[in-house]
Amino acid sequence: MSDSSVVRTRHAIDVAADPRAVYGLIAAAEDWPHIFPPTVHVQKLDGNDRSERLRLWAFANGEVRSWTSRRALDPGSLRVAFRQVVSSPPVASMGGEWIVEAAPGGSRVVLLHDFTVVDDDTASRDWVERSVDGNSRSELAALKTAAESLAAEPRALLSFADQVGISGPRQEVYDFLWRADRWEERLPHVNRLVLTEPGADLQTVEMDTLAPDGSTHTTKSVRVGFAPDRLVYKQTEVPPLMAAHTGSWTIEQTAAGVLATSHHTVVLRPERVRELLGPDATLDTARDLVRASLGRNSTATLGLARAAAERAASR
């Protein structure tokens, strides 16, 4: 395509944080799902701290798309260049660069993109430009929030896991966790669930769950399946105490059987703790509450998956 077919964009933001700390957030792409709202999942396919190949799932104008990118990381100059090697139509090519510079009060972050679209179609070009603009603004705002707020209160980030040993087929465990359309009948804490499958190994789930105090919480998630040993998810609508919630289920074959693990990563909102939990509540209160609530539901789900898999093994 001619150079006139290439669309180039530039977005920038000022961040009150050390440039190297900001660069670290950009470099750690596998953490993007709990930092950047558009990013659902990032899978590192190969590479090192200088060059890597990633597969990404992210929202583009409300739709989840997937592509593969190559990144060149330069920690010395605080730059990360990227280029899609497998794009998702209507994108024909896409690349760009993150640039972090020292600035008064902290950092200046510049995000560059260049792209072309299939057949140089005008409607497609407008669609991609809207997506790039929306995602770039969202990502830069989220990067600013993460760099400034997590630096001030790193304990707002909470990660934990729960495990259950299972004497049953790994595929049965995976199927139980993946078949969310049956959770209303299988999981007592699920009151309502709406499932859509917009693509292969891709689900969206809207779910009402029952808390121990009798209240109901609505969440929305996007899930990506990697049968038979892993599925990942990102909540796109979270309870008010959280800024982000991502997780995964892994099903590992061991000599003793199957080890199923539920992983959670949560970013809490410290500024809302007292408003939501009471005047005496602290961040520790919120961490304990979220850990107990999510862990209880995950362990209950794993227990029911174990029962289903072990019944299947005894047939």
CATH number, domain with residue 201: 3.30.530.20
Same domain for 165 and 142: no
| Strand (E) or helix (H) holding 297 | helix 283-314
Identify the pLDDT of residue 4.
67
Same domain for 309 and 160: yes
Identify the pLDDT of residue 36.
96
196: exposed, middle or buried (C-beta count within 10 Å: 0-12, 13-18, 19+)? exposed
Is 2's pLDDT higher than 60?
A: no
Over residues 113-127, mean pLDDT = 95
Is 116's pLDDT higher than 90?
A: yes
Is residue 144 within 8 Å of residue 19, measured between CB atoms?
no
Identify the pLDDT of residue 151.
78
Residue 18: phi and psi, rounded to 5, are -60, 135
pLDDT band for position 3 (cuts 50, 70, 90) = low
Domain with 145 in it: 3-152
Identify the pLDDT of residue 200.
85
Same domain for 173 and 146: no
Over residues 211-238, mean pLDDT = 91
Same domain for 15 and 65: yes
Question: For a pLDDT cut of 70, what percent of the chain falls above it?
Answer: 99
* Domain boundary, last residue among 90, 120, 152: 152
Same domain for 124 and 10: yes
Same domain for 128 and 62: yes
- Average of per-residue pLDDT values in the chain: 94
Is 69's pLDDT higher than 90?
A: yes
Over residues 86-91, mean pLDDT = 93
140: exposed, middle or buried (C-beta count within 10 Å: 0-12, 13-18, 19+)? buried
Over residues 161-188, mean pLDDT = 94
Nearest to 55 by CA among 241, 172, 226: 226
Same domain for 102 and 56: yes
pLDDT band for position 1 (cuts 50, 70, 90) = very low
Is 283's pLDDT higher than 80?
A: yes
Is residue 93 within 8 Å of residue 84, measured between CB atoms?
yes
Is residue 179 within 8 Å of residue 172, measured between CB atoms?
no
Identify the pLDDT of residue 212.
74
